[in-house]
């Protein structure tokens, strides 16, 4: 059977809007080997997170922004709610560029879990010496990466010159 080296409870946590690196390494508990690891996103693909798989684990690097239920109300750039019916979206990943933001109701949840689905191919040693047989097995594990909310992350997200802030710049 395989385990996460150091245990899942010791995974470094992340903060919304802040760059992070998550390293996860697996070990095989019978003296066998980890042959391959393939991790994929189980949650929002629009976070700026890159997964690099290796023979014994994976590394996720990037920044979490989406996943919170922030509510954005906006119109086209250089227009107002007097000229156009405002549109509303939920989630930073759905907020289009070049819009005039009229209202933001920020999700103040303390944290969210980001999910990684991981397939582990490993060789387990079965039996008692001298009659030990290597058996190739496949296992799947879901890893929850805790990400703390940072109320300034939305400000940073919006402060990229793609939004008009009611044309008050």
Q: pLDDT per residue over 8-47, tens digit each?
A: 767 889 999 999 999 999 988 888 899 999 999 887 666 6
Task: Map residue 40 onto helix, strand or coil.
Answer: strand
- Residue 161 pLDDT exceeds 60: no
Q: Are 158 and 17 in contact (CB under 8 A)?
A: no
Please compute, for residue 74, the number of CA atoms within 13 A of its CA located in the half-sphere on the CB side: 24
Q: Note the pLDDT tens digit of each residue in 116-159.
A: 999 999 999 998 888 889 999 999 999 999 999 998 888 888 77
- Distance between CA atoms of residues 169 and 166, nearest Å: 8
- What's the pTM value of the predicted model, to 2 decimals? 0.82
**Domain 2-65+113-151, CATH class in plain words:** mainly beta
């Amino acid at each position: 059977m395989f385990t996460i080296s150091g245990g899942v409870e010791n995974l470094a946590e992340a903060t919304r809007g802040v760059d992070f690196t998550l390293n996860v390494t697996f070990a095989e508990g019978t003296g066998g080997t980890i042959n391959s690891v393939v991790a994929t996103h189980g949650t929002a693909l629009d976070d700026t997170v890159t997964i690099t798989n290796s023979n014994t684990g994976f590394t996720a690097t990037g920044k979490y922004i989406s996943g919170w239920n922030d509510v954005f109300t906006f119109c086209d750039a250089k227009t107002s709610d007097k000229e156009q019916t405002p549109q509303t979206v939920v989630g930073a990943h759905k907020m289009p560029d070049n819009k005039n933001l009229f209202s933001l109701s920020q999700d103040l949840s303390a944290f969210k879990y980001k999910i990684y689905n991981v397939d582990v191919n490993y060789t387990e040693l079965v039996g008692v010496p001298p009659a030990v047989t290597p058996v190739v097995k496949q296992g799947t594990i879901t890893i929850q990466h805790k990400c703390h909310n940072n109320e300034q992350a939305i400000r940073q997200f919006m402060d990229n010159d793609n939004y008009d802030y009611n044309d008050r710049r």
